[in-house]
Amino acid sequence: MRRLDPDYKGFRGSGVEPDRRRNAPLEAVVCTVCGRKCNVPRGVALEQGEQYVCSRCIEEGRAPQPTATAEQ
Ligand SMILES: [Zn+2]
């Protein structure tokens, strides 16, 4: 049986994901809620752009709720 590798740093360690860091170029975007600059994968930067909300704000529930008009 394979358990978690004891050397595994954990997914919340330093905010760095070694596996993705290599493939995904990071881009600096500014969180619209707290104004902090964060490095996110380019795909996220392109997708969310000026509406980016950092993970900390999302965790604290400060992110504006998306308006789900498509779903009824
Ligand atoms: Zn934020």
29-66 pLDDT tens trace: 999 999 999 999 999 999 998 899 999 999 999 987 76
Determine the distance separating the centroid of ligand 1 and the alpha carbon of 11, expressed in angstroms.
19
Residue 72 lies in a domain: no
Report the distance separating Cα 10 and Cα 66, nearest Å: 30
Provide the domain count of the chain. 1
Residue 30 lies in a domain: yes
Determine the pLDDT at residue 18. 60
Determine the distance separating the centroid of ligand 1 and the alpha carbon of 37, expressed in angstroms.
8
Q: What does each C-alpha distance from 49 to 43, 54, 61 come to in angstroms?
A: 10, 12, 20
Determine the distance separating the centroid of ligand 1 and the alpha carbon of 48, expressed in angstroms.
13
Determine the pLDDT at residue 54. 92
Residue 7 lies in a domain: no
Residue 33 lies in a domain: yes
Residue 29 lies in a domain: yes
Determine the pLDDT at residue 67. 67
Determine the distance separating the centroid of ligand 1 and the alpha carbon of 19, expressed in angstroms.
24
Supply the range of the domain harboring residue 37: 18-59
Residue 12 lies in a domain: no
Instruction: Provide the pLDDT confidence category of residue 71 given band limits of 50, 70 and 90.
Output: low
Residue 2 lies in a domain: no
DSSP 11-68: TTSSS--HHHHHHS-EEEEE-TTT--EEEEEHHHHHHHGGG---HHHHHTT-SPPP--
Determine the distance separating the centroid of ligand 1 and the alpha carbon of 4, expressed in angstroms.
31
Least confident of 8-12, 17-21, 40-44: 17-21
Residue 10 lies in a domain: no
